[in-house]
Structure 1
Amino acid sequence: MAQEEITTNEDGTKRALSNRHVQLIAIGGTIGTGLFLGAGSTISKTGPSILIVYMILGAIFFLMMRAIGEMFYSDPTQHTFVSFITRYLGNGVGKFTGWTYWVGLVFVCMAEITAVATYVHYWLSNVPSWIIEVTFLVILTAVNLIAARLFGEAEFWFAMIKIVAIISMIAVGVYMAVTGFKTPFGQSSFTNISNGYSLFPKGVRGFISAFPMVFFAFQGIEFVSITIGEAKNPRSVIKKAVNETLFRILLFYIGALVVIMAIIPWHQLTANQSPFVQVFKLAGLPAAAAVINFVVLTSAASALNSCIFSAGRHFYQLATESEEGSFMRRHFAVISSTGVPAKAILISALLVFITPLMTMTHSLAAMFTIVTSISSDMYIIVYTLSMLAHRKYRQSTDFLPNGFKMPAYRFTSAITILAFAAIFISLFFIPGSQLPAIGAVLWTLAFGGYCVFEERGKTTVGI
């Protein structure tokens, strides 16, 4: 791409991401280890009805992205969707959401760098985890510091590897099912999906518990919106990214799950083995485990890359929204000569360097698991606040009647908010999920209350 094709925003960031970058970032950012490694667990707990769960939550996330997309279409200069929460729900709620989302992103980065070390150990079992973690973190931080375009290129190829792996498995699986390929489980056929079908094979609780599992599989789909501030032709890109990407993700997820259950009867799938490995092995690929390990390694590296990108932009946003003359504003609300918020990226990456300590003590690792779960639960609250911000946007003077409007928003917005509330409530009835859910509530009441009351105090003083 010629240099003159790259436009520069008023704050110094550069619109260097093309449509292909944004599309692949959106797809690749959501398709991760939850599919490659976790599909066996979700199917074993829910059976074929897992397809219903994916379709329902796919529709809910599509509606959420339409709401976020509509706000970005009205003002594509913003770097994060949190800026709209600040604008329409107030500085206090915006501060709470911004810090909560950023902390959550840092923990996601920590989880992904831990996963990277685990997958690399498949080949290099004698190399200490901390060396692997530091190496990958330095490389991907450097990728993010150099230019947004380099980040986009890295994500493009990371996503391509995952997509090729999924398409290959779907193609192989369809061939096996159509030809009636014989396996130790019997004859491959699409009828295996409906054979012995039950909506609740492990009880109603098993079916309900699938919703949070699938929710977390889709978590991160909003990453695409964070690229809009640095994309060329942002308004046309956001339309394509929102309208096309989710359908592609559903196609990959549902297509993969259908093929898996056609080859391996759903009641014989186990939670402790990747169904992708099983399908490729049954098809006669002895190196299936190594191939899938490489794919999930790139998947984790891709997620880490996206997290660093997103965390940097969110910290930069927090800095720009802080008080004039404050330490945050002076030191982190700056853009480097390469057009990226370098200092905000560095402070986010530096915190992730705590991760190697987690591998040294079991107690720290256990605490890390709990905190990561709490931060994941917080995303439900953040998503809900983005929907409430959209409702305020519709009532504001910023509303574009001819913009990229969320369809039937009064109805669809309410459904989306109620769905998020129902998923959060369900966490209190799922074993192992209660403690993180309680932690998320306490964080919201304590830190959220502090942010709102602090802002009210400033307003009172100003009056």
Structure 2
Amino acid sequence: MYQQVNQLKRKLNTRHISFIAFGSAIGTGLFYGSAEAIRIAGPSVLLSYLISGIFAFFIMRALGEMSVNNPQVGSFSFYAQEYLGPIAGYITGWTYCFEILIVAIADVTACGIYMSVWCPDLPRWFWTLIIILSVGVINLMSVKIFGELEFWFTFLKVITIIIMLIAGFGTMFLGMGNGGHPTGIHNLWTQGGFFSNGFIGMIASLQIVMFAYGGIEIIGITASESENPRVSIPKAINSVPLRILLFYVSTLFVIMSIYPWNKVGIQGSPFVLTFQHMGINIAVSILNLVMIIASLSAINSDIFGVGRMLYGMAQQGNAPKIFLKVSSYNNVPWVTVLVMVLSLLIAVYLNYIMPERVFLLISSLATFATVWVWIMILVSQIAFRRSLSYEQVKALNFSLPGGILTSIISIFFLVFILCLIGYFPDTRITLYVGIIWLVILLIGYIFINKLSK
């Protein structure tokens, strides 16, 4: 039934790739996570999303430059190994897997919470188990089926956001749901000013906001299964960050215009309140369904991303060769999917022993890994550029605007984010965990090398 094959099938088109990346970055971070950033920065959080969105775009263009030139299964792990050395590829690949596993556990936990709203008598761990097994089955299907499901998952999320935006603008300028009295946009400056928590508040929110864009790097991983990576990858990279930026900024603009920023997250979900303004009394149930879909979409992409990364790392010699096994009938790397599903059972255990604290615990661990992976993408792009002649650089089909200089500026920005993580007591533990993780990986690499000699 199964055979070892080192070639995946190119079944993903531009529509699939765009929505896979789009869906992975629009989920709980927008629907609920943005409330914490608003609390820290106030209305100036809009600037935080704009600044972070610009750098997210630069990072994806750097990745796209390498992916279009040489599409690989391991994506940025392969490029780190190719241009920076074996240790860089090893650490980058496993750090990405760690990042996405933690994010997936958080998404599974969130999905279990949403299911408990409808079935409170069933324990949360039961729902996490059902969700993990269901998404695991989806990822064992052909990559084209995976791409179609992800497209429709994301489509439903986007429709929900568009409905909220239309309703929000109706309230702001037509007074819809507000007795015919337009709210306008004065709430952006009348509750303590636009920089209500000072310029420092806006800066402090950057670490939360930057992580909200995490997940779009999956564009690089899809390159090896794209029907035409030279066409689909540039289109996806040029459109996805801009779409995410538009959705985040416009949504928060509407929310903070209608409701005072210091009441967001206190009087209930802004999405629920917007639907209620439209006269939809079942807003809670509608939002709950959308959040379940958003979580399933994110988990779906998480399992896909880690699975393909492990497959690519096995090709590089940085992971066990068993990860190269793919199914004979649909060319899916089933071993890596199975490993990811088994690893996610950690979420079942955590929701069993500490259901009230698990989401906060695990959601704070992935920021360091995300920033590390992005830094390695940029450093790899610099090394890639330096390996090319002037004529080769000019001949690149899809290049990063500004080249090496843009990457250097982006690296400084990401290092600044790491400094913010270490500066604030609430997030400092994340930096410690990240450093310990890198030390463990380094020791593991040295140990494996000694065994192989």
* Shorter-chain TM-score above 0.5: yes
SS in 2 for 1:335: strand
1:379 to 365, 370, 375: 370
After TM superposition, list the pairs within 5 Å mapping 1:132-171 onto structure 2. 132-171=127-166
Q: Does 1:213 find its partner at 2:208?
A: yes
Equivalent residue, structure 1, for 2:221: 226
1:343 to 328, 335, 340: 335
Equivalent residue, structure 2, for 1:391: 382
Q: Would you say the 8 A contact 2:72–2:221 is kept in 1?
A: no
In the alignment, the residues of structure 1 paired with residue 267 and residue 341 of structure 2 have an alpha-carbon distance, to the nearest angstrom, of 32
Equivalent residue, structure 1, for 2:168: 173
Equivalent residue, structure 1, for 2:6: 11
In the alignment, the residues of structure 1 paired with residue 344 and residue 267 of structure 2 have an alpha-carbon distance, to the nearest angstrom, of 28
The aligned amino acid for 1:161 is: L
SS in 2 for 1:392: helix
In the alignment, the residues of structure 2 paired with residue 51 and residue 39 of structure 1 have an alpha-carbon distance, to the nearest angstrom, of 11
2:414 to 410, 420, 424: 420
In the alignment, the residues of structure 1 paired with residue 446 and residue 307 of structure 2 have an alpha-carbon distance, to the nearest angstrom, of 27
The aligned amino acid for 1:402 is: A
Deviation at 1:192, TM superposition (A): 3.1
Deviations along 1:215-245, one digit per CA (max 9) or x if unpaired, are: 1111111112211111111111011011111
Deviation at 1:121, TM superposition (A): 0.9
Deviations along 1:63-113, one digit per CA (max 9) or x if unpaired, are: 000000000011124342211111111111111111121122222222211
1:410 to 376, 401, 404: 404
Please report the TM-score for the alignment, with normalisation by the length of structure 2.
0.91
Q: Would you say the 8 A contact 2:73–2:311 is kept in 1?
A: no
Q: Does 1:291 find its partner at 2:267?
A: no
In the alignment, the residues of structure 2 paired with residue 277 and residue 67 of structure 1 have an alpha-carbon distance, to the nearest angstrom, of 38
Equivalent residue, structure 2, for 1:6: none
Query: Which structure 1 residue ranges, 4+ long, deviate > 4 Å from structure 2?
Result: 364-372, 397-400, 451-459
Equivalent residue, structure 1, for 2:245: 250
> Identity percentage over the alignment?
31
In the alignment, the residues of structure 2 paired with residue 76 and residue 271 of structure 1 have an alpha-carbon distance, to the nearest angstrom, of 46
1:198 to 167, 182, 193: 193
Equivalent residue, structure 1, for 2:348: 356
In the alignment, the residues of structure 1 paired with residue 82 and residue 362 of structure 2 have an alpha-carbon distance, to the nearest angstrom, of 29
Structure 1 gaps of 5+ residues are: 1-9
Please report the TM-score for the alignment, with normalisation by the length of structure 1.
0.89
Equivalent residue, structure 1, for 2:320: 328
Equivalent residue, structure 1, for 2:394: 401
In the alignment, the residues of structure 1 paired with residue 145 and residue 216 of structure 2 have an alpha-carbon distance, to the nearest angstrom, of 21
Equivalent residues, number: 445
Deviations along 1:356-402, one digit per CA (max 9) or x if unpaired, are: 1112223x985885465333312211211111011000011495532
* Cα distance change, pair 376–268 in 1 and its aligned pair in 2 (3 A): closer
Deviations along 1:106-126, one digit per CA (max 9) or x if unpaired, are: 222222111111101111111
* Cα distance change, pair 209–265 in 1 and its aligned pair in 2 (3 A): same
After superposing the two structures, state which structure 1 stretch, 186-195 or 310-319, moved more. Answer: 186-195
2:277 to 282, 286, 293: 282
Deviation at 1:272, TM superposition (A): 6.9
* Cα distance change, pair 431–183 in 1 and its aligned pair in 2 (3 A): farther
Q: Would you say the 8 A contact 2:78–2:312 is kept in 1?
A: yes
The aligned amino acid for 1:421 is: V
Q: Would you say the 8 A contact 2:188–2:256 is kept in 1?
A: yes
SS in 2 for 1:14: coil
After superposing the two structures, state which structure 1 stretch, 304-313 or 255-264, moved more. Answer: 255-264
Q: Does 1:431 find its partner at 2:425?
A: yes
Q: Does 1:58 find its partner at 2:53?
A: yes
Deviation at 1:271, TM superposition (A): 5.1
The aligned amino acid for 1:348 is: M
Structure 2 gaps of 5+ residues are: none
RMSD: 2.5
